[in-house]
Structure 1
Amino acid sequence: MHEDIIEKAWTDEHFRQQLHSNPKQALRDAFGIDIPDNVKIRTVEEQQNDYVLVIPPNPSKVNYDVNCGPWRT
């Protein structure tokens, strides 16, 4: 799914802009993904000479599987 979202952002300018301004709505509209209100979504767009390193939460300190995301069951 992650790859599908990225590919759509590369090819659909409106989706990319909505993903930045209202990511939950963009994901709901494009992929039918409903993300709970208690989950915060932020987008970061890398530039050619940037690399964003995302450090996930320590699994021993959270109550969900970080490999599946907090909204997955």
Structure 2
Amino acid sequence: MTTMVEKGVLQEQIIERAWNDAEFKRKLLADPRTAIQEAFNLDVPAAIQLTTLEETQSHFYLIIPPNPADSIKQQPLTEEIW
């Protein structure tokens, strides 16, 4: 099963790649599933909806992750990183 640490590491790798690779960033914003597959050889399961947003100096996003107590009650969708 995926741990929050593994998910966090992948997110950090994706963000760092976007900061350093303008073409990857462009693809990630336009089609995150394909960009991640091409750059990391990682297939995002079809059951996972994936949206990429870019914050700016004046526009921020507050992400509320799933409640860990809720995940205990449900079976994971996949054993992959997602």
TM-score calculated relative to the size of structure 1: 0.77
| Structure 2 residue corresponding to 1:22, chosen from 21, 26, 31 | 31
Residue identity matched to 1:35: V
**CA offsets per residue over residues 10-52 of structure 1, 9 Å max, x none?**
1111100110111011001001111111111001100013332
Cα RMSD, aligned residues only: 2.2
Amino acid at match of 2:31: N
More contact order relative to length (CA 8 Å, sep ≥ 6): 2
Q: Which has the higher helix share?
A: 2
What residue in structure 1 maps to residue 65 of structure 2?
A: 56
CA distance in 1, matches of 2:21, 2:55: 17
Name the SS of the counterpart of 2:49 in structure 1.
coil
Q: Report how many aligned residue pairs link the two structures.
A: 69
Structure 1: gaps spanning 5 or more residues: none
Distance 1:70 1:17 in 2: 29
Provide the residue aligned with 2:18 in structure 1. 9
